[in-house]
Amino acid sequence: MASRELAEMTWEEVRDLDRARAVAVLPVGAIEAHGPHLALSTDVVIARGMARAGAARLARRGYEAIVLPAAPFSASPFGAAFVGTLSIRAETMTALVLDLAAELTRHGFAALAIANAHLDPAHLRSLEAALEQGRAANLLPIAWPNLTRRPWAARLTEEFQTGACHAGRFESSIVLAERPELVREGVAAALAPNPSSLSSAIREGRHTFAEAGGPRAYFGWPAEATAAEGRATLETLGEILDEAVAEALGGRERA
């Protein structure tokens, strides 16, 4: 059973789904500065790849996995000083997720899975608020694996776990695997490593990429990126999303 794109279906095709066994997968990203070598849409590219990988696993377990159009805008205050970053209010993101969850509940879907690739603290708080308010409103289960938290973070790459992973090897590798034309490879190859940890900077109260030690909006080791690493990372992200859905539905189901 292959996953499908909601926007490419007709309303009658959606009507005829076994929606009690259908999981809607929402890719969530940002339009935000990602160094001098990656496109502003990097998080959207990663979220879409994660959504497809997770949807494929859900389909193998017997769920109809329906991928929604990606949400490209989110709260991005860390990158707001860089031209091209489009940051919205966190409350807007919370409201969007809740409105979508309400619609999917009305249509009888089993769950909403959020494939999120944007890790700005303000955005993460907006998703946390959506989950809390969704539960309070008795909406359908919302599965969102917060990649900055256990147990998910420990399953990702070494660079990711250092916290120096914005537009570095982790993200650049995934974009090389998904949309290589969006990587300025010559620029990336010339970039010096930036081991400054965003996660440490956030704990210390920093609020922008520049304050965190990223004056060009990148952290990590972008010159070391490979498409092979990107493909492997997407497989892991798909596993994580699949397992988060199983938890949200009341137990870890296995293929």
29 is a domain residue: yes
What band does 77 get if pLDDT is binned at 50, 70 and 90? very high
pLDDT tens digits, one per residue of 124-136: 999 999 999 999 9
Q: What does the pLDDT average to over 134-151?
A: 97
Residue in the block written with tokens 């620029």: 187
Confirm whether 143 is domain-assigned.
yes
- Establish if 253 belongs to a structural domain: no
Residue 255 lies in a domain: no
Is position 132 within any domain?
yes
Counting the structural domains of the chain, the total is 1
76: domain CATH number is 3.40.50.10310
Kindly state the helix (H) or strand (E) to which residue 5 belongs, with its residue range: strand 4-5
Which tokens sit at 161? 């776990």
Question: What local confidence, expressed as pLDDT, does residue 255 receive?
Answer: 37
Collapsed DSSP state (helix, strand, coil) of residue 102: helix
**C-alpha dist (Å) from residue 219 to 33, 37, 139:** 12, 12, 38
Nearest-10 Cα torsion for 79, 80, 82, 84? 110
Bridge pairing between strands 142-143 and 4-5: unpaired
Average pLDDT, the chain: 96
- Spatial distance between the Cα atoms of 32 and 26, rounded to a whole number of angstroms: 19
For residue 252, the model assigns a pLDDT of: 39
Residue 61 is predicted with a pLDDT of 86
In a domain, 254, yes or no: no
pLDDT of residue 3: 75
Domain span at residue 21 reads: 4-248
- CA separation, residue 242 to residues 34, 209, 214 (Å): 27, 31, 33
Q: What pLDDT score does 120 carry?
A: 97
| Domain presence at residue 102 | yes
Cα dihedral 51, 106, 22, 240 sign? positive
pTM of the prediction?
A: 0.95
Q: Is residue 155 part of a domain?
A: yes
